[in-house]
């Protein structure tokens, strides 16, 4: 489980062109506890010598630990130049106890490390991250959203710590504005070139609160696609999916009706809970695809090649 989840996070880094390297033994390394990951914590190493010319000075300590704390001390090391180095797949000693001022939705517990992956950004902390490192940290936030279903599962150590930690910082003792950081991470996904929202025939409705009305969105598709739907914060329900294949002789769309997964998986009017990115197969030859949804917050829709 730990290795699979780590590789899912790595896949997101690669999707955003963040270079990834691996510390040998990463897939076996951990503090001996079994993971039950529910989110991720963002830290700074506070290493003063971190710079473009010395982008990952803390690797050995993050792997082996300190005299007062055995390693590994994180799962991912964010290097000053924007590379991500995978240190350990299994739980690491980075988070201490949780219960700080902004811990939710993560649990309050004295044994927090098995529940959270740790990203140690290798920079002094009393200065801002380099732009490259900041991008890697933002993509880490996107990865937590993708893997655990909500952008809110990414927390700063400052938010969860009960010991007054202030990382990640941008000036001495000052923590990065994490609400703005999480919003920026969501915006990062909007910049993906495959984003389809601008092609939607109707603007997506974004309710201010829970909205149980069923709406329909239609997306064009000229070849075989997967329809990928990702909830940003709160659930999205997909009632049914309709696709239209080859047009009639006069060029009008010919409805094939139903949905591609069959009535057992998606009964008409049924409600499928989409808490994390989920893909739906669309048959080859489809020209247009529509789905019925209701939602509690905004969400994204993309078409990926099959
Ligand atoms: Zn920390």
Q: What is the pLDDT along the chain (306 residues), one digit of tens a residue?
A: 799 999 989 888 887 878 999 999 999 999 999 999 999 999 999 999 999 999 999 999 999 999 999 999 999 999 999 999 999 999 999 999 999 999 999 999 999 999 999 999 999 999 999 999 999 999 999 999 888 888 999 999 999 999 999 999 999 999 999 999 999 998 887 654 333 333 333 334 444 454 555 555 655 554 456 666 666 555 666 666 665 554 555 555 444 444 433 322 333 333 444 444 566 666 656 656 666 666 655 566 666 665
Beta bridge pairs of residue 120? 43, 77
**CB-CB neighbours of 246 under 10 Å:** 11
Q: For residue 14, report the distance from its CA to the centre of ligand 1, in Å.
A: 25
Q: For residue 105, report the distance from its CA to the centre of ligand 1, in Å.
A: 18
Q: For residue 4, report the distance from its CA to the centre of ligand 1, in Å.
A: 24
Residue-level pLDDT at 26: 96
Distances, alpha carbon 240 to alpha carbons 156, 175, 198, 250, 286, in Å: 38, 44, 22, 27, 16
Confidence check on the interface: ipTM exceeds 0.95, yes or no? yes
Distances, alpha carbon 279 to alpha carbons 7, 234, 275, 303, in Å: 19, 17, 12, 9
Q: For residue 123, report the distance from its CA to the centre of ligand 1, in Å.
A: 12
Contact residues for 208 (Cβ-Cβ < 8 A; gap 6+)? none
Q: Which fold has domain 197-305?
A: Jelly Rolls (2.60.120)
Q: How many angstroms separate the CA atoms of 200 and 203, rounded?
A: 7
Beta bridge pairs of residue 85? 21, 77
**Quick one: which H or E segment has residue 230?**
strand 225-231
Q: Is 52 in contact with 132 (CB distance < 8 Å)?
A: no
Give the total residue count for the chain.
Answer: 306
Residue-level pLDDT at 15: 76
Q: How many angstroms separate the CA atoms of 278 and 16, rounded?
A: 19
Backbone angles phi, psi at 295, to 5 degrees: -155, 165
Q: For residue 41, report the distance from its CA to the centre of ligand 1, in Å.
A: 8
User: How many alpha carbons fall within 13 Å on the CB side of residue 191?
Assistant: 12
**Structure-block tokens of residue 205:** 């409705």
Give SS3 for 304.
Answer: strand
Q: Is the dihedral of CA 278, 283, 287, 292 positive or negative?
A: negative
Q: Is 259 in contact with 241 (CB distance < 8 Å)?
A: yes
Residue range(s) in the chain whose domain bears CATH number 2.60.120:
197-305
CA Rg value for the chain: 22
Q: For residue 58, report the distance from its CA to the centre of ligand 1, in Å.
A: 13
Contact residues for 301 (Cβ-Cβ < 8 A; gap 6+)? 196, 197, 200, 204, 217, 219, 227, 228, 229
Give the E-state strand segments of 90-141 in sequence order.
Answer: 116-121
Q: How many angstroms separate the CA atoms of 217 and 234, rounded?
A: 18
Residue-level pLDDT at 277: 54
Give SS3 for 167.
Answer: coil
| CATH code, 2-190 | 3.40.80.10
Residue-level pLDDT at 238: 66
Residue-level pLDDT at 287: 58
Q: For residue 120, report the distance from its CA to the centre of ligand 1, in Å.
A: 7
**Residue bearing tokens 């890697």:** 136
Give the N- to C-terminal CA distance of the chain in Å, as an integer.
Answer: 26
Q: For residue 211, report the distance from its CA to the centre of ligand 1, in Å.
A: 38
Q: For residue 3, report the distance from its CA to the centre of ligand 1, in Å.
A: 22
Supply the angle between the helices 131-148 and 2-15 in degrees, to the nearest 10: 130
């Amino acid at each position: 489980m730990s290795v699979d989840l780590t590789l899912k996070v790595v896949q997101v880094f690669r999707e955003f062109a963040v270079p990834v390297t691996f510390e040998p033994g990463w897939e076996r390394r951990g503090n001996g506890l079994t993971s039950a990951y529910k989110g991720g914590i963002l830290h700074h190493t506070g290493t003063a010598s971190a710079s473009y010319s010395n982008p990952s000075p803390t690797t050995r300590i993050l792997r082996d630990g300190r005299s007062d704390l055995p390693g590994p001390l994180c799962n991912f090391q964010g290097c000053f130049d924007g590379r991500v180095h995978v240190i350990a797949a299994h739980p690491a000693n980075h988070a201490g106890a949780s219960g700080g001022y902004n811990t939710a939705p993560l649990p309050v517990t004295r044994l927090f490390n098995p529940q959270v992956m740790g990203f140690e950004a290798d920079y002094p902390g009393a200065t801002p991250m380099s732009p490259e490192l900041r991008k890697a940290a933002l993509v880490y936030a996107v990865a937590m959203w993708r893997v655990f279903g909500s952008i809110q599962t990414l927390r700063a150590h400052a938010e969860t710590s009960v010991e007054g930690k202030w990382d990640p910082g941008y000036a001495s003792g000052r923590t990065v504005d994490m609400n703005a950081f999480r919003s920026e991470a969501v915006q990062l996904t909007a910049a993906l070139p495959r984003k389809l929202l601008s092609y939607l025939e109707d603007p997506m409705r974004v309710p201010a609160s829970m909205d149980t009305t069923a709406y329909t969105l239609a997306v064009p598709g000229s070849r075989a696609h997967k329809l990928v739907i990702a909830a940003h914060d709160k659930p999205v329900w997909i009632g049914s999916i309709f696709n239209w294949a080859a047009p009639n002789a006069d060029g009008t769309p010919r409805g094939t009706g139903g949905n591609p997964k069959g009535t057992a998986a998606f009964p008409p009017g049924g409600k499928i809970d989409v808490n994390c990115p989920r893909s739906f197969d669309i048959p080859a030859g489809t020209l247009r695809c529509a789905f019925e949804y209701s939602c509690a917050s905004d969400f994204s829709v993309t078409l990926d090649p099959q």
